Structure 1
């Protein structure tokens, strides 16, 4: 009986280790491909080769574990990266930017449906426990809406800047760190407003916010 328990524990641990190793390998491959495409200067003589290799690495990481037939597209994007590196770089940056923001927007908007608990309310509940105080619950619902609007505007920002900004490269500012900086400022301002609106309350620290986010985002029902 004891041997059986030990065996099953080791087997489950080994299975988890294999899954973790596979995910880590895919993440390293994906981030390496993003770095090759985004960080290599366009003026470099070997930039086309880096874009070509980077695009293939990204697609291979995304297709890992899927039907082998999908991998026929890996050399296709490699050829596009080699012969049109500038266009491929822009398309790659737009795709990554759009997918990341769409994923965040979907998490927040999905949680606002009638049968769901708003995402920021979940985060607050993970720190302070449930049920939350009535004013805290109303505030967290409002913040969930605010972040949903933020990600919507951020997702549309490159297009709006391309259409109306006087500077011809202004549409690339969100892709080159502008949205990340805006998110940090938004979060900092919201923390100040939170303390002004919600009085006589044990507000969470940055570490508690991080731990709560990790606990909530790792839940299967958010995937």
Structure 2
């Protein structure tokens, strides 16, 4: 019951953040509250990362430097709320694109192939290798497209249109991508050769934990 409640709570919090972010970024008005809201996810990631650092003195020094930079930049950011949200959205999706693309260009396996090996005990058929590479390419193109559309809308579309895309549609589009890939997987592979959705999530979490070490 606890994992379900935690998932529901996290989902509700994400929806509330997205809606509040939409109204803050779409207005384009100066807002200190908007800065705090925009930086909340990245701040949480930074706090967790600093907390996990074994060198406490270095973590404390970096925290002070980040806090000083934040206080110094706060007046400017509060006057450029929409730009702040755009830079955050652009940066996050660019990093996600690079996460997938770099595994296609390097000597190792594509990212989705690595995840699939975790699920299937380290052994993949030739068909699974081809499929997981194609899925990695699909996710790479998806995130590149998100970056490109975001940039084009921010430059040429009315601000509320870009804001709706960046804050309200990002999560649903990623969820739709997951569902579409899962449906293709159902069609391509028999039951014994495909991973369930929960197994995929567990593999992703294990991969992310390994990357953080």
Q: Which residue of 2 aligns with 1:136?
A: 128
Q: Over the residues paired in the alignment, what is the CA RMSD in angstroms?
A: 3.5
CA contact (8 A) 2:90 2:150 kept: no
Q: Show structure 2 runs of 5+ residues with no match.
A: 1-13, 51-58
Going from structure 1 to structure 2, the CA distance change for 1:113 and 1:171 (only over 3 Å counts) comes to same
Following superposition, the deviation at residue 119 of structure 1 comes to 0.5
Deviations 1:49-96 (A, max 9, x none): 4246557878877496328455442222222245x2xx2x21221122
Paired residue total: 182
With over 3 angstroms needed to count, the CA separation of the structure-2 counterparts of 1:182 and 1:56, relative to structure 1, is: closer
Q: TM-score under structure 2 normalisation?
A: 0.69
When you count helix as a share of all residues, which structure comes out higher?
2
Which residue number corresponds to residue 96 of structure 2? 104
User: What's the CA shift for 1:142?
Assistant: 0.4
1:173 is matched with 164
| Corresponding residue for residue 214 of structure 1 | 205
Pick one of 27, 38, 48 that aligns with 2:31: 48
Say whether the 8 Å CA contact 1:51–1:81 is kept in structure 2.
no
Aligned match for 2:180, one of 159, 181, 189: 189
Instruction: Choose from 73, 78, 88 the match for 2:74.
Output: 78
Sort the Cα spacing of 1:136 and 1:57 in 2 relative to 1 into closer, same or farther, 3 A.
closer
Larger radius of gyration: 1
Q: Contact conserved, 1:161 with 1:170, CA < 8 A, in 2?
A: yes
TM-score, normalization by structure 1 = 0.66
Cα distance in structure 2, aligned partners of 1:133 and 1:101? 31
Q: Which has the higher contact order (CA 8 A, sep 6+)?
A: 2
